[in-house]
Amino acid sequence: MFRRILIANRGEIACRIIATCRRLGVETVAVHSDADARAAHVAMADHALWIGGPAPADSYLDARAILAAARAAGAQAIHPGYGFLSENPEFVDQVQAAGLVFIGPSAAAIRAMGLKDAAKARMAAVGVPVVPGWQGDSQDPDHLLGAAEALGFPVLIKAVAGGGGKGMRRVDRPADFASALASARAEAQGAFGNPAVLIEKYIECPRHIEVQVFGDGTRAVHLFERDCSLQRRHQKVIEEAPAPGMTPEMRAAMGAAAVRAAEAIGYSGAGTVEFIVDASRGLRPDAFWFMEMNTRLQVEHPVTEAITGVDLVEWQLRVASGEPLPLTQDQLSITGHAFEARLYAEDVPAGFLPATGRLAHLRFPPDVRADTGVRPGDTISPWYDPMIAKIIVHGPTRAAALSRLARALDQTEVAGSVTNLAFLARLARHPGFAAGQVDTGLIARDLGQLTAPDPEDALWLAARATAVLAAADLPAGPLAGFALWSPLVHPVVLSDGQGPLQARLWLTAPDRAAVDFDGLRLLAERGPAGWSVEGRRPMPVVADGDRLHVLLPEGRGTLTFTRPDPLLRMAAQGPGDGVVRAPMPGLVRAVAVAPGQTVAAGDPLAVLDAMKMEHVLTAARDGVVAEVLVDPGAQVEAGAALVVLAPEAAA
Ligand code: ADP
């Protein structure tokens, strides 16, 4: 076994590899960019070396910097993780030329699977079923159209150098072929510098089922299949093992084909053979076809670990250090069922837009495996993949595991960035998914339902009241702030990103409060776990600077509110001249008052959008509005007068 290895990666996969190394007594060397100087993987490793700037090309993709770090740290081997340099055969050559071990397959094996056309030809030659299609040197549009017509529409045009779904076009009619071909070729040329394409039969109702393989360079075993059909735009969202509806015959056929694929290229280490399956008539041993082989450890490997009890990173280290495969095919078996959900910082309703932010709060339920590379307080930066964590559950049956997944998502708490948590929790309760009716189109078909706002209005109202109560920070104690003769009313103004939430609240008894907003009154009671609104279980609130995050129950995610900055509010109010000014340049979003209106101290007067935030400008004192100098939509300079209160004597 190695004494010390370098991990040429970051985030959760680096942490994942370090965890196994620790258990095996292998010392770890982390590398990091400027953006990751204080990242979790750096803190977790035994040693850490800086390798460059935040852009991947300047650090995690810089082979020279990584090799220099490995030499400086005295590492014997390099684990590439996934992504970055993990499937780059030149890097493998360079690692070996430096006298180090690459923890993964040979450069030749990676090259054999690098281009889709060559890989398909090689697989077909050893008897692995490949998707029916046409490939060849002639890239003449008429010739390709003829090939498509011979196959029968619909067809899929695929860039031979493709990856990440790029350079791929489905074509349903001959008339659309020429334009689809032109755009696929242009995209492939731009992304891969290679415009060549192949044509495949488009599989209707496709399922993505992949087989985990493990080789020693000569022989290989498989560790059964994973179903990764729950995808959005060809990206996996929830993965599971084994595949729902899998039959022993089909599993044996797929496993044998995957082992043949791995052995045909002398595969060493962990790899995945991806198949596309036609699920229109159930799972049948004659309806699966090779798509591609990923010559690395995959993101979703934990579900395989959960059902086999194998630590795949341990196997990688053992085989790379010269040990034989730890188990034979006969010694491998499946126990129970496992799911993995990928928690991302992303805005699902906005089209799965990647998000960033500082994670003010992050907590996973104690009884699940959560693979993560970030801690509370860490930032999801724009430089890297916005994955926050993988949540992995295991149960004796698929139904038991799925209900554990739903519960685990309900109990996961994250605040500080938009996330897909609520979307995942809904997906985990999707009836079709629960019934095992998965295909790659499920999410797209039901996207509306999976992202619709939660209809349970009462919960949202309670969450807003909870935020108001947290913002007011009412003093506790038997008599504090509570006066029988005239309750002390606290005005609170928050913003939830949609607009201002203007509320008033007061204690009706010690530790009981009434909260008014939007013409409603909600009653709350304070207990050891916080404020219970209208008898609901208290929702935890995380304060983070001027933001308040209310953690909703049952996987509904987090509601974030912004408190107007008290300093800005003071600046806006001025020294008591009754003129309310813009504290900074911005856009007047709303004006809450009209001339002649009586206002109380703390009442919102106007809302200013500035520096990507909303600032609620409030009255410094009781009074009457004398003048409103702006309309909603006006762009104003810092210091511009917005609202004027009548002089105090006249109030
Ligand atoms: P890439 O290398 O760009 O990721 P793949 O060949 O792995 O491309 O295919 C990505 C996804 O596209 C698959 O997971 C599947 O959902 C879909 N797909 C690929 N080939 C076909 C096909 N012949 N018919 C239908 N869908 C396909």
Query: Residue 568: pLDDT above 80?
Result: no
Residues 116 and 254 in one domain: yes
Residue 437 has which token pair? 């009716």
Please list, in sequence order, all residues whose beta carbon lies within 8 angstroms of the beta carbon of residue 469, skipping any fewer than 6 positions away.
505, 513, 515, 524, 531, 533
Pocket of ligand 1 (CB under 6 A): 131, 156, 162-166, 168, 200, 202-203, 206, 208, 231, 234, 274, 276, 291-292, 440
Alpha carbons 367 and 404: distance in angstroms, whole number: 10
Query: Residue 212: pLDDT above 80?
Result: yes
Alpha carbons 244 and 311: distance in angstroms, whole number: 23
> Ligand 1 pocket: which of 205, 276, 445 to mutate (most atoms <8 Å of CB)?
276
- Grouping H, G, I as helix, E, B as strand and the rest as coil, residue 396 is coil
Residue 356 CA to ligand 1 centre (angstroms): 29
Identify the CATH number of the domain in which residue 485 sits: 2.40.128
pLDDT at 637: 78
As a whole-number percent, the residues of the chain with pLDDT over 90 amount to: 68
Residue 156 CA to ligand 1 centre (angstroms): 9
Higher-confidence residue of 546 and 561: namely: 561
Residue 258 CA to ligand 1 centre (angstroms): 17
Alpha carbons 573 and 579: distance in angstroms, whole number: 7
Show which of 408, 437, 453 is a domain's final residue: 453
Identify the CATH number of the domain in which residue 158 sits: 3.30.1490.20
Residues 125 and 245 in one domain: yes
Which of ligand 1's atoms lies nearest the C-alpha of 204? 25
| C-alpha closest to that of 297 among 226, 402, 374, 192 | 226
Alpha carbons 13 and 10: distance in angstroms, whole number: 6
Closest Cα to atom 9 of ligand 1: 165
| C-alpha closest to that of 552 among 428, 409, 447, 448 | 409
Residues 433 and 350 in one domain: yes
Tens digits of per-residue pLDDT, 126-171?
999 999 999 999 999 999 999 999 999 999 999 999 887 789 999 9
Please list, in sequence order, all residues whose beta carbon lies within 8 angstroms of the beta carbon of residue 61, skipping any fewer than 6 positions away.
84, 85
Residue 481 CA to ligand 1 centre (angstroms): 64
Angle of the 301-308 helix axis to the 312-320 helix axis, nearest 10 = 100
Q: Mean pLDDT highest for which of 76-85, 343-352, 530-539?
A: 76-85
Show which of 397, 428, 453 is a domain's final residue: 453
Residues 88 and 123 in one domain: no
- Residue 575 — pLDDT band, cuts 50, 70, 90? very low
Cβ atoms of residues 211 and 247 within 8 Å: no
Tens digits of per-residue pLDDT, 347-380?
888 888 888 888 989 999 999 999 999 999 999 9
Residues 224 and 328 in one domain: yes
pLDDT at 583: 72
Which of ligand 1's atoms lies nearest the C-alpha of 440? 16
Tens digits of per-residue pLDDT, 41-79?
999 999 999 999 999 999 999 999 999 999 999 999 999
Residue 154 has which token pair? 């619909």
> Is-catalytic flag, 296?
yes
- Torsion, CA 254, CA 255, CA 259, CA 264, rounded to 10: -10
Residues 118 and 253 in one domain: yes
Residue 291 CA to ligand 1 centre (angstroms): 7
Residues 220 and 296 in one domain: yes
> Ligand 1 pocket: which of 160, 168, 238, 288 to mutate (most atoms <8 Å of CB)?
168
Alpha carbons 70 and 90: distance in angstroms, whole number: 17
Gyration radius (Cα) of the chain, Å: 29
> Ligand 1 pocket: which of 117, 194, 291 to mutate (most atoms <8 Å of CB)?
291
Number of separate helices (H) and strands (E) present in the chain: 18, 39
pLDDT at 621: 83
Residues 518 and 448 in one domain: no
Residues 304 and 162 in one domain: no
Residues 223 and 366 in one domain: no
Cβ atoms of residues 630 and 591 within 8 Å: yes
Domain span at residue 158 reads: 132-201
Closest Cα to atom 12 of ligand 1: 234
Identify the CATH number of the domain in which residue 29 sits: 3.40.50.20
Closest Cα to atom 11 of ligand 1: 234
Show which of 103, 120, 142 is a domain's final residue: 103
Residues 432 and 499 in one domain: no
Query: Residue 584: pLDDT above 80?
Result: no
Cβ atoms of residues 492 and 504 within 8 Å: yes
Quick one: residue 336, left, alpha or beta (phi over 0 = left, psi -120 to 50 = alpha)?
A: left
Least confident stretch, 80-89, 558-567, 583-592: 558-567
Query: Residue 570: pLDDT above 50?
Result: no
- DSSP tag of 576: S
Residues 321 and 349 in one domain: no
Tens digits of per-residue pLDDT, 592-628?
899 999 998 878 888 887 655 667 788 878 889 998 9
Catalytically annotated residue among 10, 232, 296, 556:
296
- Residue 455 — pLDDT band, cuts 50, 70, 90? low
Closest Cα to atom 22 of ligand 1: 202
Count the domains in the chain: 6
pLDDT at 50: 98
The overall average pLDDT reported for the chain is 90
Which of ligand 1's atoms lies nearest the C-alpha of 289? 23
Closest Cα to atom 2 of ligand 1: 163
Rounded to 5, what percent of the chain is helix, strand, coil? Answer: 30, 30, 40
As a whole-number percent, the residues of the chain with pLDDT over 70 amount to: 93
Residue 607 CA to ligand 1 centre (angstroms): 48
Identify the CATH number of the domain in which residue 259 sits: 3.30.470.20
Cβ atoms of residues 637 and 585 within 8 Å: yes
Burial-class residue 650 by CB neighbours within 10 Å (0-12, 13-18, 19+): exposed
> Ligand 1 pocket: which of 87, 117, 234, 277 to mutate (most atoms <8 Å of CB)?
234
Burial 100-113 (b: 16+ CB within 10 A, else e): bbbbbbbbebbbbb
| C-alpha closest to that of 505 among 530, 487, 532 | 487
Higher-confidence residue of 555 and 160: namely: 160
Residue 304 CA to ligand 1 centre (angstroms): 22
pLDDT at 566: 52
